[in-house]
Amino acid sequence: MPRGDLFPDIAPYETGLLPLSGGHVMYWEQVGNPRGQPVLFLHGGPGAGAGAIHRRFFDPGHWRVVIFDQRGAGRSRPLGELRENTTPHLVSDIEVLRRFLGIEKWLLFGGSWGSTLALAYAQAHPERVAGCVLRGVFLGRQTEVEWFLYGLRRVFPDAWAAFAEHIPAAERTDLLGAYLRRLCDPDPLVHGPAARAWSLYEGSCSTLLPSPETVASFAQDRSALGLARIEAHYFANDLFLPPEGLLGGMERIAHVPAEIVQGRYDMVCPPDTAFDLAGAWPRARLTIVPDAGHSALEPGVRTALVAAVERFRRRG
């Protein structure tokens, strides 16, 4: 699809590997203006990893863009590792990276699971957050997980059937447990096909119109394993969020300005979640894109995201 509304391709000016707890090693990179306004990109999943396309939401002449792959994801290692891989670990990792890079405060930019992690980090460290740009909001509530696992069949019955039929009929009342057992199996002949089936399901439901390019990106073996295994692990553990959920901590960031971009026909993270978040956030501006689904790369969504970032640029 044409992506002329994004900024041009750009290479990082610095990359590195940062040791973390539990044997994890974080891949990180910086892009754009080394003296610019800091912004942190938080990828989705959990476990999806970041890519070169994500650098292009930000004007490289203005922003100091920090991108990293979360534990077990993308170029971080070991790939798909679940030990010491929880939301509090990821929040702590962001602080390790911030201190390592000498950044006082930054704008957070995250979509889907990236919006969840942005909120968790902001509520833990509000003094370090200049603002938030969030897309395809996911709050990690049980109803949202159940929608992904079962509710999506009402709109994507064919994609859901392929997802469910990877599991024997006797186990389909607990798709999450059945998938997690297979995804954690050490045999690549077991975890590989399960990872592809999970990831293809998510990719197939992520755009308003069919997008073979999107589905193909989800089907790649390395990205599929990180996404499927870590996502199932987090889903099985209530996303490692506090009992009151993220909406229960909104008073901590009531003063933080936010831009929320939501596709009207987002089936992976339906719009009512974004409405709930905006209703609990006095300084949030909600933009509904009328002709888009979940993907950040759908034309209306990426245009709205770039505009949202530019509004923060003008704030200074």
Task: Summarize pLDDT for 76-111 with one digit per residue, the tens.
Answer: 999 999 999 999 999 999 999 999 999 999 999 999
**CATH number given to 14-141+240-315:** 3.40.50.1820
* β-sheet with 63-68: strand ranges across: 14-19, 25-32, 63-68, 37-42, 106-111, 129-135, 258-263, 284-289
Catalytically annotated residues? 112, 266, 294
HEC letters along 221-235: HHHHHHHHHHHHHHH
| DSSP three-state, residue 107 | strand
155 vs 227: CA distance, rounded Å? 22
Specify the pLDDT at position 222. Answer: 66
Listed as ranges, residues in the chain with pLDDT below 70 are 1-4, 215, 219, 221-222, 316
The pTM for the full model equals: 0.96
Query: How many Å is the maximal CA-CA distance in the chain?
Result: 58
- Of 316, 10, 288, 312, which is closest to residue 131 (Cα–Cα)? 312
pLDDT value for 255: 97
Q: Which residues of 142-171 are buried (b: 16+ CB within 10 A; e: fewer)?
A: eebbebbbeebeeebeebbeebbebbeeee
Please give the pLDDT value at position 217. 75
Residues 172-183: b if buried by 16+ CB within 10 A, e if exposed: eeebbebbbbbb
Q: What is the per-residue pLDDT for 316?
A: 66
Domain borders along the chain are: 14-141+240-315, 143-239
Question: What is the model's pLDDT at position 203?
Answer: 93
Contacts of 248 (CB under 8 A, 6+ apart): 242
Q: Which residue from 235, 279, 230 is spatially nearest to 258, judged by alpha carbons?
A: 279
